[in-house]
């Protein structure tokens, strides 16, 4: 998929017990956690730390850029000042990619809300998207006379948390999050901390996005994060996935797991295993690496080409590597690095005006590998198709490939995501342009042939839904496959899908937010 679609963000939290020499080093661990969550958001990064010995009990630091850019690690002096100012024994962190709103620093997270009363002074980071955002916003504007500044679901969430904290006494945070769950439809993992030092790390009742936690061997350091790889690389042990509808409540030195909402069904986002998550992670006891290997094996079963020595397999780096290698092994073909990713490009605004320029900037085709070959290009997914078309052109023109056969480890994307992935309209998706109506069955050979011709490929094969489900290892009813099947797990998601198609037929290309 290359850069066709992005995840929305990652969250993390740290709590260091006692008065050891590491007690005020929460930021050090937050920084390491965020580095390992960089794949989930590259627009901005930020932290909030807790330190009762400073006037700014909660103090938030956030900037645009990659984690190392934000924490000025290219300058020892500047970086030291940041780590000194924000020292504390507790903290939360966030990396962001914008699925809604602008890309300005003001929308970087965590969001901090100041207040004179400590329980009303809080900061939080969100991983997800509220599908009923429009209804929630309308209620604030019409019934509570609020003024909305940024027009994002994070701002809406901040106001709803604030309303739950009203009163003259600090409420039980279990009750606060229980009440919020009654109002929200969608995906919302939250890392929250108030000026009392109370923390909540919660996973929504459907479990769309992953969330794990663990302790150090001496039980003095607690961490939570969106992916297990982040905790492993910080030395945590006994890493556990937080169950949907549960929250980790840290108060008065105690760490407790509390159920705050009923989980009527699980709906783990299948894209976490296909593309988003680090290949080293284990999510809800399912290895990302193993799932991607299985996807390659299942894809090989669908192969229709008469394989001979003219063929090679080339995975698109990096997320398709495990699947591509497994696919090649099953077909007894060499898996070659015919496409090399330039890992030092980073975010840049001087990358050319066309997608072809962007492909050339981010990837190098190895002509000595590709020239004269029939290349089976394994990629994780095709969403909009624009970048795929340019990649095919690049591999033929620059790489000298004789033929390009696209092999996609994910079934065709046919519906928008209302739960945090950056694809919110039907009009922007490739496959609906060919099928013209919502379809839940596997794509036809005829449609694949038309798409292949239009993107310049010699053939195209997509993974089946059955192969996808089998590869991940969960029953279908425990996965969210809405974007490939049209089967949305939440009430508002179902309504938004109908509206999205209605807008598509009318030629309306704006984001589908309202479920009215």
DSSP state of 88: B
- CA distance linking residue 307 with residue 329, whole number of Å: 13
Range list of β-strands (E), 23-77: 44-50, 58-64
Q: State the first-to-last Cα distance of the chain, in angstroms, to the nearest integer.
A: 32
DSSP state of 509: -
Question: Backbone dihedral region of 145: left (phi > 0), alpha (psi from -120 to 50 degrees) or beta?
Answer: left
Give the chain's length. 516
9 is annotated as an active-site residue: yes
Task: Assign 192 to helix, strand or coil.
Answer: strand
DSSP state of 241: E
For residue 113, list its beta bridge partners.
122
State the catalytic residue, choosing from 9, 12, 234, 483. Answer: 9
Helix (H) or strand (E) holding 214: strand 212-215
Are residues 373 and 404 in contact, defined by beta-carbon separation less than 8 angstroms? no
Task: Assign 17 to helix, strand or coil.
Answer: coil
- CA distance linking residue 445 with residue 442, whole number of Å: 9
Task: Assign 434 to helix, strand or coil.
Answer: helix
The catalytic residues are 9
């Amino acid at each position: 998929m290359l850069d066709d679609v992005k995840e929305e963000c990652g969250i993390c939290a740290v709590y260091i017990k006692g008065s050891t020499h590491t007690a005020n080093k929460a930021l050090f661990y937050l920084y390491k956690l965020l580095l390992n969550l960089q794949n989930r958001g590259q627009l901005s990064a930020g932290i909030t730390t807790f330190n009762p010995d400073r006037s700014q009990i909660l103090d938030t630091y956030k900037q645009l850029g990659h984690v190392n850019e934000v924490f000025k690690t290219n300058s020892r002096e500047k970086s030291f000042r940041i780590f000194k100012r924000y020292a504390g024994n507790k903290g939360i962190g966030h990396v962001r990619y914008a699925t809604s709103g602008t890309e300005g620093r003001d929308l970087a997270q965590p969001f901090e809300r100041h207040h004179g009363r400590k329980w009303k002074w809080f900061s939080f980071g969100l991983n997800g998207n509220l599908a009923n955002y429009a209804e929630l916003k309308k209620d604030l504007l019409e019934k509570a006379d609020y003024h909305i500044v940024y027009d994002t679901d994070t701002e809406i969430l901040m106001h709803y948390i604030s309303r739950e904290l009203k009163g003259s006494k600090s409420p039980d945070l279990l009750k606060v999050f229980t009440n919020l769950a009654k109002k929200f439809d969608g995906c919302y993992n939250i890392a929250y901390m108030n000026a009392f030092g109370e923390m909540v790390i919660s996973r929504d009742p459907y479990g769309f996005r992953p969330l794990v936690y663990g302790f150090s061997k001496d039980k003095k350091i607690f961490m939570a994060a969106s992916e297990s790889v982040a905790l492993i690389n910080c030395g945590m042990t006994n890493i556990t996935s937080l169950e949907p509808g549960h929250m980790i409540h840290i108060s008065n030195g105690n760490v407790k797991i509390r159920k705050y909402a009923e989980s009527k069904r699980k709906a783990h986002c299948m894209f976490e295993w296909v593309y988003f998550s680090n290949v080293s992670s284990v999510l809800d006891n399912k290895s990302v690496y193993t799932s991607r290997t299985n996807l390659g094996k299942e894809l090989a079963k669908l192969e229709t080409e008469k394989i001979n020595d003219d063929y090679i397999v080339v995975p698109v780096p990096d997320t398709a590597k495990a699947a591509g290698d497994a696919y090649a092994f099953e077909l007894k073909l060499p898996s070659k690095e015919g496409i090399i990713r330039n890992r030092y490009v980073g975010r840049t605004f001087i990358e050319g005006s066309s997608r072809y320029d962007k492909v050339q900037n981010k990837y190098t085709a190895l002509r000595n590998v590709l020239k004269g070959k029939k290349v089976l290009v394994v990629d994780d997914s095709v969403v909009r198709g624009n970048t795929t078309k340019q990649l095919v052109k690049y591999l033929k023109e620059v790489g000298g490939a004789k033929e390009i056969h696209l092999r996609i480890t994910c079934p065709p994307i046919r519906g928008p995501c209302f739960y945090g992935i950056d694809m919110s309209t039907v009009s922007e998706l490739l496959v609906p342009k060919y099928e013209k109506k919502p379809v839940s069955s596997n794509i036809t050979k005829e449609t694949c042939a038309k798409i292949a011709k239009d993107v310049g490929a010699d053939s195209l094969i997509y993974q089946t839904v059955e192969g996808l489900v089998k590869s991940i290892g969960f029953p279908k009813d425990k996965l969210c496959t809405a974007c490939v099947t049209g089967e949305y797990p939440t009430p508002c998601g179902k309504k938004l899908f109908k509206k999205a198609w209605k807008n598509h037929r009318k030629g309306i290309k704006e984001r589908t937010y309202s479920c009215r």
